[in-house]
Amino acid sequence: MEISAKIYVAGHRGMVGSALLRRLQAGGYTNIITRTSDELDLRNQAAVADFFAAERPEYVFLTAARVGGINANNTYPAEFLYDNLLIESNVIHQSYLHGVQKLLFLGSSCIYPKLAPQPIREEYLLTGLLEPTNEPYAVAKIAGIKLCQAYRKQYGCSFIAAMPTNLYGPNDNYHLQNSHVLPALLRKFHTAVEQEASTVEVWGTGTPRREFLHVDDLADACLHLMLHYNGSDAINIGTGEDISIGDLARLIQRITGFRGKVRFNALMPDGTPRKLLDVSRLNALGWRASIPLQEGIKSVYALTEWAEQLVNA
C-alpha cells in the first residue's frame, strides 16, 4: 500500500475507524477518504455505488457497523442483522466492481461458537451453535467474512478479514444499557465515585472470562495485515490473555478509586462463559499487542474527552 494510495476508511468516526485514521495519519498516509453516515448511508446501495464511482478508492478498511453489548443485541436484533448485512454487502460488492486493490473487513470474536474450545482458533468458525444473545450480529459478521472469501475465490479479489476480540479505547460507547462490559463498568464506577455511592452493581456472576484489546493496538494490527497478509483465512486479533469480569470490575474499582462494595447481579445474563482468541497466526506474521490492560484503562480514564463522552452517552 503506497504512501500516496487512495484509502477509504468506512466508519471513521467510530471507535475503530477513528483509531485507524490516527494510525494511518501517523504512518504518513494522507490521501484518505472519509464520509459521515449523514453524508453517505452505507445501507443505501445506490448511494454506495455512486460514491465508489466518483472516488475510486484503491484500498478499503471496512470498520463501519452497528455495534452494541448484550442488551442492545437483545433489544434490536433485526437492526443488528439487517443494517450490518447491508453495509458489508454494499461496500464489498462495490469494491469488487470498481477494482479496489485490497479490502480489509473487520468481523468480531462473537462469530465463534458459544462453547468453542479455548483459546479459539480461526478454524473453529461454524463448528457449533452461536451465543443466543448476539446471534444476529454474529450471523451478519460471518456473512461478511464469507463474502470476502467468495469474491476472492470467484473473482480473485484481494479481500481479507480479521476478527478482533473485545475492544476499548477513545471514542468508546458509554451508554449504560447499550455499551459493552468494559466501558459500562468504567462509567458505573466513575459515577459511583462522583455520587459517593456505597455499592456498584455488576451484571452477571462475574465468572465469565474475556479478552480486551486497546483499539490503538487493533488499528496497528489492521495496518500490519493490510501490508503483510493476503490470505483467504480470517485472522484473529487479540492479546492472547483474558481476565474474569469480576477481576476486571475490581481492576476498574482501583483505577477509579471507588471505595464501596461491588455486588454481582446473577439475575442478569453472563453471555459466553469464556472468549479468548488464539493469536498464533497473527504473531507468526510479526505482530503482537503492546498496550497492557491496566495501562490502557488508565489512559482512557485520563482522557480529557472523558466527561464529554459521558454526557453524550
**Any idea which residues carry the catalytic annotation?**
137
Is residue 17 annotated as involved in ligand binding? yes
50 is known to lie in a ligand binding site: no
Q: Is 27 annotated as a binding residue?
A: no
202 is in an annotated binding site: no
Please indicate if the annotation marks 109 as binding a ligand.
yes
Q: Is 63 annotated as a binding residue?
A: no
What is the grid cell recorded at 53? 464511482
203 has binding-site annotation = yes
Q: Tell me if 146 is assigned to a ligand binding site.
A: no
Give dist(CA 229, CA 222) in Å, integer. Answer: 10
210 among annotated binding-site residues: yes
Q: Is 15 labelled a binding residue?
A: yes
141 labeled binding residue: yes
Beta strand 243-244 pairing with 209-210: antiparallel
Annotated binding residue at 164? yes
11 is in an annotated binding site: yes
Alpha-carbon distances, residue 233 vs 62, 122, 166, 270 (angstroms): 17, 8, 20, 30
* Phi then psi dihedrals of residue 7, to 5 deg: -120, 130
| 165 annotated as ligand-binding | yes
| Bind-site residues for NADP(+) | 11-17, 106-109, 141, 164-167, 180
Binding-site residue set = 11-17, 106-109, 141, 164-167, 180, 188, 203, 210, 270
Question: Binding site for substrate, residues?
Answer: 188, 203, 210, 270
